[in-house]
């Protein structure tokens, strides 16, 4: 190999080995092996030199060309690897970094209370049943033994829908309570039955403690030989668990509902000393729910034999027990969709209430 070609290769080697990245390397490839590259240009001069020298010089140039191509490929591989290493270092995930703060959303106190009710009654073997908000007159009133003159049937108390449906049929109503789902459940599920029924209810009422749309939870137990002792025990368990007051006293006051006999209203112990409401054994009383033994006529209306099946039912306002437990003073704020209110009274989405993990955190 002639000296000039050896020098050429040495030059190429030092420049290629110093190339810092892929772009610099590509520029070198063009400079040496491109159409006007230094080796290409030397090849073009072969025709002008004497025939006896031409063969050896041609072979030497080919060797130089291969050598430079090899140097380019080797440097390319080194650069590719170090670029990959740099990327791996740059994109590494630091699992010890603290997580980003959770989003600002909260679980609404009504949803939280429904979750708490489900956890407490679930522990007692109840499942959750649901029914439609737009209800037939028969389910909402007639099957529940509610007489024609009952105030809840009046236009001023109930939202009736204008379209009557079938000709001659009474208009549909926005259910005034969750009790119609008692009927739907007894007509579709074979006893024994143990359900709670949370849901939206509607009455034509609007002030600081009444909203035209509110929520109730109903309870229904149907079995053989069920008596008021079961009702009392069940509600006592529930109230003490929900309000988280272990010795919370309960008082059953005789009352009247068309669909239960006997009927009672339940008060829980409280104190109103100093204008501040405190739950517990303090001598004062606060009404929280209605209940009773399911009326035999209601059981019969559902196609069951009241001689064979008995049970109890109860119903209460979800807003009311939520306001009591969490100290929310005005019912209307539940529906104002004010984010500041929700951040104050709302609950963290992943803190699902449970009897073992805690009801409210």
Residues making contact with ligand PHE (CB under 6 A): 177, 179, 218, 257, 260, 290-292, 313-315
Which of residues 28 and 288 has its CB atom nearest to ligand PHE in the complex? 288
CB 304 within 8 A of CB 186: yes
- Residue nearest to ligand PHE according to CB distances in the complex: 315
Which of residues 180 and 191 has its CB atom nearest to ligand PHE in the complex? 180
**What six digits make up the tokens of 263?**
């009927």
**What six digits make up the tokens of 294?**
């399911």
Which of residues 65 and 153 has its CB atom nearest to ligand PHE in the complex? 153
Rounded least distance, CB 164 to ligand PHE, Å: 25
How far is the C-alpha of 240 from the C-alpha of 229, rounded, in Å? 17
Helix (H, G, I), strand (E, B) or coil at 96: coil
Give the helix/strand (H/E) hosting 352: none
Rounded least distance, CB 273 to ligand PHE, Å: 29
How far is the C-alpha of 331 from the C-alpha of 281, rounded, in Å? 26
DSSP class per residue in 279-322:
ESSSSEEEEEEEEEEEPHHHHHHTT--TTT-EEEEEEEEHHHHH
Rounded least distance, CB 352 to ligand PHE, Å: 27
Question: 173-200: buried (b, 16+ CB within 10 Å) or exposed (e) per residue?
Answer: bbbbbbbbbbbbbbeeeebebbbbbbbe
Which of residues 211 and 260 has its CB atom nearest to ligand PHE in the complex? 260
Rounded least distance, CB 267 to ligand PHE, Å: 14
Which of residues 109 and 292 has its CB atom nearest to ligand PHE in the complex? 292
Rounded least distance, CB 335 to ligand PHE, Å: 19
Question: 41-53: buried (b, 16+ CB within 10 Å) or exposed (e) per residue?
Answer: ebeeeeeeeeeee
**What six digits make up the tokens of 2?**
């002639």
Rounded least distance, CB 165 to ligand PHE, Å: 24
Which of residues 112 and 179 has its CB atom nearest to ligand PHE in the complex? 179
């Amino acid at each position: 190999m002639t000296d000039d070609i050896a020098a050429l290769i040495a030059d190429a080697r030092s420049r290629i080995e110093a190339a810092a990245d892929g772009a610099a390397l590509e520029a070198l490839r063009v400079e040496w092996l491109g159409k006007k590259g230094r080796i290409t240009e030397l090849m073009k001069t072969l025709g002008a030199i004497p025939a006896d020298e031409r063969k050896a010089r041609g072979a030497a140039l080919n060797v130089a060309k291969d050598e430079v191509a090899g140097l380019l490929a080797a440097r390319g591989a080194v650069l590719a690897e170090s670029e990959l290493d740099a990327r791996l270092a740059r994109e590494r995930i630091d699992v010890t970094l603290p997580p980003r703060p959770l989003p600002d959303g909260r679980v609404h106190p009504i949803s939280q209370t429904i979750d708490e009710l489900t956890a407490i009654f679930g522990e007692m073997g109840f499942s959750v049943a649901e029914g439609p908000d737009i209800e037939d007159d028969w389910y909402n009133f007639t099957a529940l033994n509610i007489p024609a003159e009952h105030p809840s049937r009046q236009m001023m108390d109930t939202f009736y829908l204008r379209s009557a449906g079938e000709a001659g049929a009474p208009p549909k109503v926005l259910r005034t309570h969750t009790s119609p789902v008692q009927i739907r459940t007894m007509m579709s599920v074979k006893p024994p039955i143990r359900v709670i029924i949370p849901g939206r209810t509607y009455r034509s009422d609007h002030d600081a403690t009444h909203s035209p749309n509110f929520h109730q939870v109903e309870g229904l137990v149907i079995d053989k030989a069920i008596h008021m002792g079961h009702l009392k025990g069940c509600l006592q368990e529930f109230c003490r668990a929900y309000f988280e007051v272990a010795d919370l006293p309960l008082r059953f006051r005789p009352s009247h509902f068309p669909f239960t006999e006997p009927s009672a209203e339940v008060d829980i112990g409280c104190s109103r000393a100093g204008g501040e409401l405190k739950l517990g054994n303090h001598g004062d009383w606060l009404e929280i729910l209605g209940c009773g033994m399911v009326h035999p006529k209601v059981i019969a209306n559902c196609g069951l034999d009241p001689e064979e099946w008995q049970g109890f039912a109860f119903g209460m306002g979800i807003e009311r027990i939520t306001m009591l437990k969490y100290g929310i003073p005005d019912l209307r704020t539940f529906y104002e969709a004010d984010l500041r209110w929700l951040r104050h009274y709302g609950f963290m989405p992943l803190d699902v209430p449970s009897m073992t993990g805690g009801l409210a955190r």
